[in-house]
Structure 1
Amino acid sequence: MAQEANQTADAEDRTAALARDGAARIEWVRTHSPVLDGYVREAVNDGSLRGKRVAVVVHLEAKTAFLATVLADAGAEVIAAGSNPRTTDASVVAALRERGMTVVADAGGDYDSWELELKAAADCEPDYIIDDGAELTMRTAEHRPDVFAKLKGVSEETTTGTARLQAMSAAGNLPFPALTANDARCKHLFDNRYATGQTTLQALLRLTNRQIAGARIAVVGYGYVGKGLALYAKAMGARTFVAEVDPVRALEAHTDGHTVGSRAEIFPQAEAIITATGGMRAIGEADIQYLAHDVVLGNAGHHDLEVDTEALAAAASNVFESRPGITSYTVGDRDLHVLAGGALVNIAGGSGHPVEVMDLTFAVQGLGVHHLASTELEPGVHILPKALDDSIAIAKLASYGITLDELRADQRDDHTARMEEGGAA
């Protein structure tokens, strides 16, 4: 009995220590999130969210946790879950539970446990979802159609999730309004480009202990994420390559100074390849033949399957851990190295996006769910109103001590002014 009591006490001590660590991490985020902790906190505290159940399903680390606390402080009943089984932080989970919040995720899980966590979140019957990749939204439709039919709104974080919601809407299967937070300028212009560009390369360098100056870095996909990756790699002295199937984006990458071509042309030259498509199997079975010996493969897109690790394992004669966070596959006479198991490398292999950028992204999400709760919107996919998007930027600029001029009357185009006022041309 004494031994069991000691073991219980030890477990409680470890949990308490984890909770203190998580609380410190969340507090660090708070002190560097002037928009979320100021302007957004004030805006959402008008009673619109009081008593509403809001499921927050984004990578469950300190920045997400702070968003959850802001919503909880506004009176929402928050359910926290993770959008990927490999990116949940144990200390953050402990801190939120210590606070009394419903958390249906645990660190160290796999895809089976993650599916159960998402179903548990759906079973909590949320009124609103702040989603990442529409993962909970889709599971709710499948697992709890009764809850799905009663959902009052979803605010979606990613390009992938936005595409999924638009497909559901086009098929007539979206009975509630959904905001594509990803399409807000204060999200994709900063989060997708600058944050992912910086933190993905930071994680790659930390995991590999390799040099980037002079290295040949290939990016698959040239949306906002791909642009940020190529921008940062080039600025750090890398020779940059882009593989893109969209001809306009490919032309843009060429004009930006990157070498553009097909996978067959680019992959054999690359020392590191980073996927940024938001789709499936950006590096798939058909591409393995083009990969050079000692190449590093990392994923900066939504799906863990952007790098097809199952195809690599099937082709390999040996699979081994060459360094912490790096799985190596021996295929013929080549060793191919995958970072963080193919999960989002900047989170699973790093610290995630910078706090300052997530202050913007989660300001969009916080105001987004508040907009859903306080505004009558038709079912379908909507974009955050420009006025709200602008207000976030204004608050961020103010936190830097920056004020802007307003357009004077004599600077306006008379024809445009008359059209805006509804007058004759």
Structure 2
Amino acid sequence: MATDKSDVEIGQAQIEWVSRHSPVLNGFVRETLSDGALKGARIAVVVHLEAKTAFLATVLADAGAEVVVAGSNPRTTRGPVVEALKARGLTVVSAPDGDHASWERELLAAADWAPHYIIDDGAELTLRMGKFRPKLYANLKGVSEETTTGTARLHALRAAGKLPFAALTANDARCKHLFDNRYATGQTTLQAILRLTNRQIAGARVAVIGYGYVGRGIALYAKAMGAHTRVVETDPVRALEAHMDGHKVGTAADMLPGATMVIAATGGMRAVGMSEFAHLDHDVLLANAGHHDLEIDVDVLAGLTNDRKETRPGITTFRVQERDLHVLSGGALVNIAGGSGHPVEIMDLTFAVQGLGAHHLVSAKLAPGVHIIPKALDDAIAAAKLKSMGISLSEARSEQEDDIAQWIEGMPK
């Protein structure tokens, strides 16, 4: 007679599935980390705590690092994965089903573990160490940052003279933002919305707020699936790009009325707030695909009504002035809180950047400031991915190269 699997077994199976589909992490990254550079390094991994993050943590631990794992969001930590990591012997300070108060305590527990290096998401642990654990912050040797939001925060710290160590913006690596932000978020955001709502995408009027790589990916996938796409953007260049990509572009006041789905993808806060709520139609779906849980101002929305109810699992409906406004996953990052997160194949690239980024921080002795991984390393990750798919490339022949050297040599001094 079959018996129910334990959380440990479920988590282990999920991590093993990631391992099976991560040829770059299991090949090129493991080979690079086998030089012993990470042995004894204390690394805090603070990314959405699900199976793909767990696998990265195990790869670092296998390379000799001492690893503590925490979640970068209170509503995206998976219980079975936590138990599997603990059974493996890793230190985990986060638990599932938390709130912002418990999450803050977990991050401070990760800080008190006194890491040398952080693989961060949104600079959440980095900022809290700087503010609440300044002595431990002063002892940090490096940070590798996952997101656009965190990258902006690191640049702000540097500009304020409060970044005393080297920080890698993994988000700016081409093998990260060109694939993770665009294709992964585009696919999984819509997957989660459709799974939660059982609604149709073809013919839907989808408004995307923000047209960075995340917003581009969402709009791209929505349009390809038959949606009528609209974009709200404050940056004129990005707005022009959205227009030329075939999306309707304008202000929130112009784009939100008539929309059946509104997806926030700014990486900032309150992209959908008091002023935007006034422009929403009855029965609209509201989803967050950016870093902060506050992209949709759920607290303000709750203050506009006394009538709120769970209409489906993962959907809270607020009754506002005869309109039903449906918030998905409580305003948390919908593709993880309401879905399975990014595809394994994409995270194989992203976490290859993070794993090799940690190695680069330890090995390269970078000066304080914000850095990007070297192009050669970025290229090597892409080459390893192509190789795993059986794809080989030819090299440019000498006669195909620009003749600039001849021009330079022929110029008078």
> Fold-level match, TM-score > 0.5?
yes
Tell me how far apart the structure 1 counterparts of residues 405 and 285 of structure 2 sit (CA, whole Å): 53
Counterpart Cα distance in 2 of 1:292 and 1:416: 62
Q: Which string of whole-angstrom CA distances, capped at 9 and with x for unpartnered residues, describes residues 191-226 of structure 1?
A: 000000000000000000000000100100000000
| Structure 2, unpaired ranges of 5+ | none
Give the residue type in structure 1 aligned to 2:338.
G
| Residue of structure 2 equivalent to 1:364 | 353
Query: Could you tell me which residue of structure 1 aligns to residue 135 of structure 2?
Result: 146
Matched, 1:169 2:153: no
| Structure-1 separation of matches of 2:377 and 2:136 | 29
- Match in the other structure for 1:64: 53
- Aligned AA for 1:99? R
* Distance across 1 between alignment mates of 2:390 and 2:405: 32
Alignment correspondent of 2:326: 337
In structure 2, distance between residues paired with 1:142 and 1:23:
36
Matched residue type, 2:283: D
Residue identity in the other structure for 1:267: L
Q: Name the SS of the counterpart of 1:84 in structure 2.
A: coil
Structure-1 separation of matches of 2:48 and 2:34: 24
Partner secondary structure for residue 129 of structure 2: helix
Shift of 1:96: 0.3
- Structure 2 match to 1:323: 312
What is the correspondence of 1:38-57 to structure 2 with a 5 Å cutoff? 38-57=27-46
Q: Displacement of 1:120 after TM fit?
A: 0.1
Residue equivalent to 1:188: 177
Residues 193, 224 of structure 1: 8 Å contact kept: yes
Tell me the equivalent position of 1:90. Answer: 79
**Cα separation, 2, equivalents of 1:417 and 1:408:** 17
TM-score, normalising length: structure 2: 0.98
Deviations 1:109-142 (A, max 9, x none): 1100000000000000000000000000001111
Residue 36 (structure 1) aligns with: 25
Q: Identify which of 380, 383, 391 aligns with 1:394.
A: 383
Secondary structure at 1:268 match in 2:
coil
State the distance in 1 between where 2:115 and 2:406 align: 45
CA distance in 2, matches of 1:329, 1:79: 39
Match of 1:408 among 381, 393, 397: 397
Give the drift of 1:414. Answer: 1.1
Partner of 2:216: 227
Contact persistence 1:317–1:332 (CA under 8 A): no
* Matched residue, 2:335: 346
Task: Spell out the pairing of 1:211-226 with structure 2 (5 A cutoff).
Answer: 211-226=200-215
Amino acid at match of 1:34: P
The aligned residue for residue 119 of structure 1 is: 108
Partners in 2 of 1:31 and 1:266 — Cα distance?
Answer: 43
- How far residue 317 of structure 1 moved from its aligned partner, in angstroms, is 3.1
Where do 4+ consecutive residues of structure 1 move more than 6 Å? none
TM-score when normalising by structure 1 = 0.95
Q: CA deviation at 1:247?
A: 0.5
Partner residue of 1:251 out of 219, 236, 240: 240
Q: Does 1:155 align with 2:144?
A: yes
The Cα shift of 1:424 comes to 5.9
Residue type of the alignment partner of 2:80: S
CA distance in structure 2 between the aligned counterparts of 1:153 and 1:262, rounded to whole angstroms: 40
Q: State the one-letter code of the partner of 2:322.
A: D
**RMSD (CA atoms):** 1.2
Q: Partner of 1:147: helix, strand, or coil?
A: helix
Letter in 2 for 1:129: I
| Paired AA for residue 218 in structure 1 | A
Q: Cα gap change, 1:305/1:376 in structure 2, threshold over 3 Å: closer, same or farther? A: same
* Corresponding position of 1:74: 63
The answer to whether the 8 A contact 1:155-1:179 is kept is yes
Q: Which secondary structure does the structure 1 equivalent of 2:9 belong to?
A: helix
**Are 1:137 and 2:120 counterparts?**
no
Q: Deviations over 1:325-346 (max 9, x none)?
A: 0011100100000000000000
Give the distance between the partners of 2:38 and 2:10, measured in 1 at CA. Answer: 29
Partner SS state of residue 262, structure 2: strand
Matched residue, 1:266: 255
Matched residues in 1 for 2:291 and 2:150: separation? 9
CA 1:305 to 1:358, structure 2 compared with 1: closer, same or farther past 3 Å?
Answer: same
Shift of 1:287: 1.0
Question: Which of 271, 274, 282 lines up with 1:293 in the alignment?
Answer: 282
Question: For the Cα contact (< 8 Å) 1:155–1:365, is it kept in 2?
Answer: yes
Q: Among the aligned pairs, what percent are the same residue? A: 68
Distance 1:418 1:360, change over 3 A: farther
Letter in 2 for 1:151: L
Q: Deviations over 1:14-53 (max 9, x none)?
A: 9x81011100000000000000111001101211110110
Counterpart amino acid of residue 304 in structure 1: D
Measured after TM superposition, the shift of residue 416 of structure 1 is: 5.2
Secondary structure at the counterpart of residue 227 of structure 1: helix
Whole-angstrom distance in 1 between the partners of 2:374 and 2:213: 21
Q: Bigger CA drift: 143-152 or 187-196?
A: 143-152
Tell me, in whole angstroms, the C-alpha distance in 2 between the residues paired with 1:17 and 1:417. Answer: 69
Question: What's the offset of the Cα at 1:144?
Answer: 1.1
What displacement does 1:280 show?
0.6
Q: Deviations over 1:337-356 (max 9, x none)?
A: 00000000000000000000
**1:3 alignment counterpart:** none
Question: Structure 2: how far apart are the matches of 1:259 and 1:42?
Answer: 47
Distance 1:43 1:190 in 2: 22
SS in 1 for 2:77: coil
Structure 1 counterpart SS, 2:15? helix
Across the two proteins, how many residue pairs are aligned to each other? 409
